[in-house]
A and B are shown apart, each in its own frame.
Chain A
Amino acid sequence: MNFEHVDGKDKGKITLYALSTCIWCKETKDLLSDLGAKYDYAYVDLLKGNDREVAIEQVKHYNPSCSFPTLIIGDKCIVGYKEKEIKEALKV
């Protein structure tokens, strides 16, 4: 499946699973952008067919409740908009 790319400084591999209608997902995206990090994201609610299944499986692998935002920074998974944890994981 394809992710959207947002350019910025390379702070390791960052993947965000989000919903296009979710305000906390938006806050998370804005925070990553404010921090100038390069990241990939997918709006799972807009995916169709196989891409959607694959994305849901990936989210469940890290976060069995399949809630959003699910943010993967390196091998760390942060569920929900947790500003402090995100900043810590990005060492800012």
Chain B
Amino acid sequence: MNEQEMPNDAEVINFIERLEKEARQGGYDLNQNKEFTRGLAKGLLINERRYGYLSCPCRLAVNEREKDLDIICPCYYRDPDLAEYGACYCALYVSRDIARGQKELSPVPERRIPFEKRTKLDLTGADISGSIKLSVPVWRCLVCGYLCGRDTPPELCPICKASKDRFERFL
């Protein structure tokens, strides 16, 4: 790995603080295993340098934002994995039980469908195109599920800070 990609300790610590703050604000918990969380935070920063966005450290990025949009951290799969397995795929985010040590962490299988096999329905679970009339479209944040009715999606999701390109037209 080339040296330029390596974030220094201060950067990693600052970044973890930011992640912790955002997690707290959003009602999420970070993995309390410090060494583990550090490793993941470092991986995220390396990916940010390498690709220009915080691509998931435990997944292979293709280095095209559009194709990696779903795995920019926090990824589209964090919430369903937290609900089903008590942790995101990397286990950077864990359920409250696990954060408190009341439950063991177990491996989370990959739910991501490879890009070439993905359809719109895999993301939204609904296809009602053309069947209803609305005065403004409804946009859905693909990271946290926030919905808003307006002409265009917001620049940043007011709930989870996901960028505009990570919204889909929901209705």
- A6 part of interface (Cβ distance < 8 Å): no
Which among B9-17, B93-101, B108-116, B143-151 touches the partner chain? B108-116
- Chain B 82-96 residues near chain A, CB threshold 8 A: 90-91
The reply to whether B60 and A44 form a contact with Cβ atoms under 8 Å apart is yes
Q: Which of A1-49 contact B (CB under 8 A)?
A: 19-26, 44-46
- Contact assessment for B59 and A24 in the assembled complex, using a CB-CB cutoff below 8 Å: no
Chain A positions within 8 Å of B1 at CB level: 20, 46
Query: What is the predominant secondary structure among interface residues of chain B facing chain A?
Result: loop
CB-based contact A23/B57 at 8 Å: yes
Once the chains are docked, how many angstroms separate the CA of A69 from the CA of B26?
Answer: 30
For the complex, is A87 an interface residue (Cβ under 8 Å from B)?
no
Q: Do A21 and B47 form a contact, CB below 8 Å, given A68-B59, A81-B107?
A: yes
Q: Does chain A have a CB within 8 A of B39?
A: yes
Chain A nearest Cβ from B5, distance in angstroms? 9
In the complex where A22-B43, A23-B40, A23-B43 touch, is A68 in contact with B114 (Cβ < 8 A)? no
Q: Which residues of B contact A44 (CB under 8 A)?
A: 60
Residues of A within 8 A of B110 (CB): 65, 67, 79-80
